[in-house]
Amino acid sequence: MAKNKALVIGGLGVIGRNLINHLSTLEDWDITAVSRREPDQEMAKKAKYISCDLLDMKQTENKFSSLSDITHVFCCALHGGIDATNTEPNKLLVANPVEAISNISKDLQLVVLQEGSKAYGRQLGPFKTPAFESDSRHMPPNFYYDQEDFLIEFQKGKNWTWSVLRPEAVCGFAVGNPMNLIMCFGVYAAISKELGMPLKYPGEIGGFEAINQVTDSGLLARMTVWAATSQNAGNEIFNITNGDGFRYINVWSDWAAHFGMEVGQPQRIISSDVMPDKGRIWEQIVEKNNLLRLPYDKTAGWPYFDFNMDTSWDVLMSDAKRIDRGFTEIVDTEEMFLSLFSEFRVRKVLP
């Protein structure tokens, strides 16, 4: 049987890492990944890793020159964090590798681009909910639009197709990637506990009560493979969340119990201001619990945490289209959070 040849752009982030984990369990996939960081031993066994500055087209072409049999490109990388206006480098993270592979691989079948709910303007304030893939764009700039427009235009007249997936706040196991809600919550809770504090919701009170969604990284990985192989997914955009919604006010007590803490009254802080100097406390927690010695600045992205905690409006996307097209799987969000907290604990990343 001829194997699919995957190229995963951003192979150590939450999305890319968990996609590789899933692909490595499938017999008909060979995997090459691109990452600025060196892979850990676990991931190095699952994929061949290439270090490349994807913003440099000449370097990209040189590093990709042997990848003439790639069948699928998965664009999972991000440049510059949560800022949706950081357009040019994020466009190049898609344009350069896709153009390079399209030019050298006659076997290319499909490119999958990972986006998110910022395509609907959730970062700007209240937006129409539930959000559908057919909804209008907001006033640019937004790098998702630049990436999409490149992909749609560049693909014209070519034999391969594209799919765009829009997850929300992807949650899964990864280390060294601060834009991960699980690590943000876990580190915030651990430091609060070490300081003798109860677990207080740290954002706007409206965020405590608003409807939220997240996407389990395993679910997203399976959806990504479905999009790469289904005849119903070519040249289409799909929302992909767990398929349910939740309010932090309804799960906060369960999370506090998981960490062995009392629930405190919500109290807004700006985490990006008050949490960066807690490295010494984190080192104490690591020593006391014999945890993985991950540098504190690589544990949690505090601006990302603020962004999520201070969203005091509903974040809700419709999963109807992907369910109608054939990917019907859903995940219980409350169970997902507790399961992931436990996994990070078992792997000695969180106490």
pLDDT tens-digit series, residues 122-161? 999 999 999 999 999 999 999 999 999 999 999 999 999 9
Which positions ≥6 away from 200 have C-beta within 8 Å? Answer: 192, 264, 265, 266, 267
Span(s) in the chain for CATH 3.40.50.720: 4-169+215-239, 171-213+245-316+331-346
Give the number of other Cβ atoms within 10 Å of residue 240's Cβ: 26
Pick the CATH number of 171-213+245-316+331-346 from 3.40.50.300, 3.40.1410.10, 3.40.50.720, 2.60.15.10: 3.40.50.720
Over range 91-95, report the average pLDDT.
97
Which tops the pLDDT comparison, 143 or 81? 143
Could you tell me the CATH superfamily of domain 4-169+215-239?
NAD(P)-binding Rossmann-like Domain (3.40.50.720)
Examine the pLDDT at 1 and tell me if it is beyond 60. Answer: no
The span from the CA of 70 to the CA of 6, in Å, is: 6
Over range 178-198, report the average pLDDT.
96
For residue 60 the two structure tokens come to: 């990209």
